[in-house]
Amino acid sequence: MTLAASAGLALARGNRRAQIAAATVIGTCNRLSEIRTPYGRDGADQMTAVVTQYRALTALIPDQRFSDDLFLRAVNFQAALSYAVSGVSKAFGSSWVQGDALIEVLRTEAYGSGPAAALLRRHPKLCRALTIGTVAWETAFPLVYLLPREQASHALSAVKAFHAGVAAAMELPRFVWGFFGAHGAVGYVLDTRGTPRTFEKAVVGIAGGVVLASALIAREKRLTARERRLGPKGSARLRHAGGDVEYRVDRPGDGAASRTVIVLECGLGQSLESWEWVAEGLARHHTVVRYHRSGYGLTTSRAASGDLLAAVLDEIGAEGEIVVVTHSIGSLSAASYVRDPRFADRVDKLVVVDGTDPALLDEDRTDRRRFGTFLQAQLYTLLAAVTGIYEWAPNAVERQAGYTPDTQFGHVQFVFSPRNVVNSVREYRAVRTEGALSRLGAVPSVLVVASDEFADQQAALAEKLGAKYEVVHGSAHRSIIGHRHHAEKVEDAVRRFVDAC
Amino acid sequence: MLADQLKGGATAFAVGALATHLVATVLQNTPDSYNQDLRKFTGGWPLPGWRFFAPNPGVQNVHLLVRETAGDGPTPWRDVTPVVPHGWTQVLYNPRSRGPKALFDAMQQLSVMSANQADFAWVTRSLPYELVCAASRAAVSDEARALQFLLMNVFPSAPAQHRMKPILTSEWIPLGTAPRAAEAAA
């Protein structure tokens, strides 16, 4: 039926009613096909759906001129959006920015078996240039509306050549049919430039307004979270080395804390609230100290972790032995001070919860692809933070954290603070790994508590540290302390470990 | 008068629906998966996703492997990935590429479930699992009493030791004769 309608559409040139009827049939078949199975479809199907379904919808408008104008402007909008979104999304992909994407795609069976693919594979430098060139021209596509008409036509011809090249190399001819059609609408808008109030400008205005509102709401929430930290129920601060150190101390309510002090080291970009469940349990019998390392939260001091912690312990008068409990990259922060003369005699127990293996971190930082992937993830978080997307979209931070409402609020706003995201990148690059394993392994008693997600990796780390090893089944890297039922197992493991030694 | 009102209503409906669809499309197309399913704001009208091959393109071949039991022990694994012809004809017309693409889409969804540590019982009730089940059923012999499938990612650009990565091994799926005959006919 689609084929027949397509033939009708081609033959009905100049006959508006017949074109609308054919487009309606194609659009309906497209939708029914999608309902039957959402799998196996691609962007060309989406563009076909946009063109045909928009045509059917605008046909409801009795004013023929307005109907056609609206239809073409809406299709043009989607066409421009498709190129720009594709380019911007690629700019967030490390393999695109580093020039590897195209050659890797062309090595797959699905997209690397076209007649032109073998030719391209023989010229890696050309592939690299095309990869980066694709990111650049797709991102810059909206500039076509600023070009003089003739140059704009040349630009559209170049885009058509790109689609033809994709068809020849990757055997994706559907994109040719889907997108060439949309170029007619782009041409229409180019020809009618100068109209003061147009449909697409209104849509851009509304979308921009929504994003701005989202960004402002998120910013306001982050400011509220910061105000709470500064308030009487917030965290404590002390001056040290020309800046502040943010910390929190929890003790048993009856004042019967053991002399042992438990220090909780946060993971990369994580708030001290991330330890809430564990701290709450451990503070029934012990003094529990949490603090933010340099650059995080309200900690403005540039001093090293050991200096910050020493200042906090002095401030609260903690003199007993210290048990350090770390999460993720917090293990490397601990490695920087556990053998420091100020702590070496006091720290004889260490618990590493899903800790960072220094050797793996070194590999991740020196491999440009892996480091690119890390930067990519941080860039996403930064984008979500600035635009406030995290406030209304599901995200891994909230999925892996289930604190009480106020704590959850403080933790989420902390993780999505642009300043903390940037500081995470700084810390990831700067944290020292030399000798970290030997210093951690030199602590007399070490326990590794692993999430299910990284159980094998943590088993290897435990072996390197000569540590005891436990797994919290069903947990993931962040939920191991973020979900109460997992955190209680971590707390139980820490308590048993402290009591047993 | 009524006719004018109907015309005005139709125009307002079309303009409103298009504007909503376009705004929702903009908001849905953030560079990462930081997006909700905004279709609830468009009355179920699908929103196009324009992140072609981005941000991280699929650089793997998805292979579907199947083994079966027909009385004795299980047969060895067989690769039953749909075979697609390649050449100049496919540059112009390539409908058979949809099969591997569907497998790839299903695999990606199952990978996400796996990464989120979804309960296996939930995975087995999911649409992608059913899709791969159906493809596997069509690939086993008529005598088979049960089948098991394995989805395997092969990364041609990766170092040899990281090239193959199994995504999902199904449970043993008992086979009824009648439905399979109908599927084969279909």
Which of B7, B27, B61 lies at the smallest CB-CB distance from A108? Answer: B61
- What are the residues facing A250 on neighbouring strands? A288
pLDDT at B119: 76
Chain A residues in contact with B29 by the CB 8 A cut-off are: 81, 85, 89
Which of A83, A203, A476 lies at the smallest CB-CB distance from B22? Answer: A203
Query: pLDDT category, B183, cuts 50, 70, 90?
Result: very low
Chain A residues in contact with B14 by the CB 8 A cut-off are: 57-58, 60-61, 67, 70
Does B79 contact A at CB distance below 8 Å? no
Does A389 contact B at CB distance below 8 Å? yes
What's the mean pLDDT when you consider all of chain B? Answer: 85
Does A107 contact B at CB distance below 8 Å? yes
Chain A residues in contact with B93 by the CB 8 A cut-off are: 173
Q: Give kind and range of the element (H or E) at residue A247.
A: strand A243-250
**CB spacing of B91 vs A171 below 8 angstroms:** yes
Query: pLDDT category, B181, cuts 50, 70, 90?
Result: very low
**CB spacing of B61 vs A173 below 8 angstroms:** no
Q: HEC states along chain B? A: CHHHHHHHHHHHHHHHHHHHHHHHHHHHCCCCCCCCCHHHHCCCCCCCCCCCCCCCCCCCEEEEEEEEECCCCCCCCEECCCCCCCCHHHHHCCHHHHHHHHHHHHHHHHHHHHHCCCCHHHHHCCHHHHHHHHHHHCCCCCCCCEEEEEEEEECCCCCHHHCEEEEEECCCEECCHHHHHHHHHC
Chain B residues in contact with A172 by the CB 8 A cut-off are: 94, 97
pLDDT at B177: 53
Does A174 contact B at CB distance below 8 Å? yes
- Rounded to the nearest angstrom, the minimum Cα separation between A149 and chain B is 26
Of B123, B136, B151, nearest in space to B60 by CA:
B151
What is the residue extent of each domain of chain A? Answer: 42-195, 220-500
Q: Give kind and range of the element (H or E) at residue A238.
A: strand A236-240
Q: Looking at chain A, which residue has its C-alpha nearest residue B102?
A: A40
Task: Determine the average pLDDT of the residues in B61-73.
Answer: 89
Does B49 contact A at CB distance below 8 Å? yes
- Rounded to the nearest angstrom, the minimum Cα separation between A185 and chain B is 15
Q: Count CB pairs under 8 A between chains A and B.
A: 211
Which of A66, A74, A78 lies at the smallest CB-CB distance from B48? Answer: A78
Number of H helices, E strands in chain A: 23, 8
**CB spacing of A113 vs B86 below 8 angstroms:** yes
Does A199 contact B at CB distance below 8 Å? yes
- Rounded to the nearest angstrom, the minimum Cα separation between B45 and chain A is 9
Q: Which residues contact A124 (CB under 8 A, 6 or more apart)?
A: A103
Q: Give kind and range of the element (H or E) at residue A438.
A: helix A436-441
Does B2 contact A at CB distance below 8 Å? no
Does B44 contact A at CB distance below 8 Å? no
Mutate: best of B6, B11, B13, B18, partner A, most A CBs <10 A: B18
Per-residue pLDDT of chain A (501 residues; tens, 9 = 90+): 888 998 998 888 889 999 999 999 999 999 999 888 888 888 899 999 999 999 999 999 999 999 999 999 999 999 999 999 999 999 989 999 999 999 999 999 889 888 889 889 999 999 999 999 999 999 999 999 999 999 999 999 999 999 999 999 999 998 998 899 899 999 999 999 888 778 888 999 999 999 999 999 999 999 999 999 888 778 999 999 889 999 999 988 776 767 789 999 999 999 999 999 999 999 999 999 999 999 999 999 999 999 999 999 999 998 889 999 999 999 999 999 999 999 989 999 999 999 999 999 999 999 988 999 999 999 989 999 999 999 888 888 998 899 999 999 999 999 999 999 999 999 999 999 999 999 999 999 999 999 998 999 999 999 999 999 999 998 999 999 999 999 999 999 999 999 885
- Rounded to the nearest angstrom, the minimum Cα separation between A106 and chain B is 8
**CB spacing of A115 vs B87 below 8 angstroms:** yes
Q: Is residue B9 pLDDT above 80, yes or no? A: yes
CB atoms < 10 A from the CB of A300, how many? Answer: 18
Q: Write down the CATH number for the domain with range A220-500.
A: 3.40.50.1820
Give tens-digit pLDDT for B157-167: 888 888 998 88
Q: Looking at chain A, which residue has its C-alpha nearest residue B89?
A: A171
Burial A314-350 (b: 16+ CB within 10 A, else e): ebeebeebbbbbbbbbbbbbbbbbbbbeebeebbbbb
Q: Is A501 helix (H, G, I), strand (E, B) or coil?
A: coil
pLDDT at A257: 65
Q: Which residues contact A492 (CB under 8 A, 6 or more apart)?
A: A281
Does B145 contact A at CB distance below 8 Å? no
Rounded (to 5) percent helix, strand, coil in chain A:
60, 10, 30
Phi (first) and psi of residue A468, to 5 degrees: -70, 165
Does A395 contact B at CB distance below 8 Å? yes
Which of B22, B59, B101 lies at the smallest CB-CB distance from A105? Answer: B59
Does A257 contact B at CB distance below 8 Å? no
Sign of the CA dihedral running A150, A152, A155, A160: negative
**CB spacing of B156 vs A101 below 8 angstroms:** no
C-beta of residue A325 within 8 angstroms of C-beta of residue A353: yes
Does B11 contact A at CB distance below 8 Å? yes
Q: Looking at chain B, which residue has its C-alpha nearest residue A95?
A: B56
Chain A residues in contact with B49 by the CB 8 A cut-off are: 43, 46
- Rounded to the nearest angstrom, the minimum Cα separation between A167 and chain B is 5
From residue A444, give the alpha-carbon distance in Å to each of A208, A309, A355, B146.
58, 20, 17, 54
Does B112 contact A at CB distance below 8 Å? no
ipTM associated with this complex:
0.86
**CB spacing of A389 vs B34 below 8 angstroms:** yes
Mutate: best of A85, A138, A166, partner B, most B CBs <10 A: A85
Q: Which residues contact A172 (CB under 8 A, 6 or more apart)?
A: A42, A44, A111, A166, B94, B97
Q: Is residue B180 pLDDT above 50, yes or no? A: no
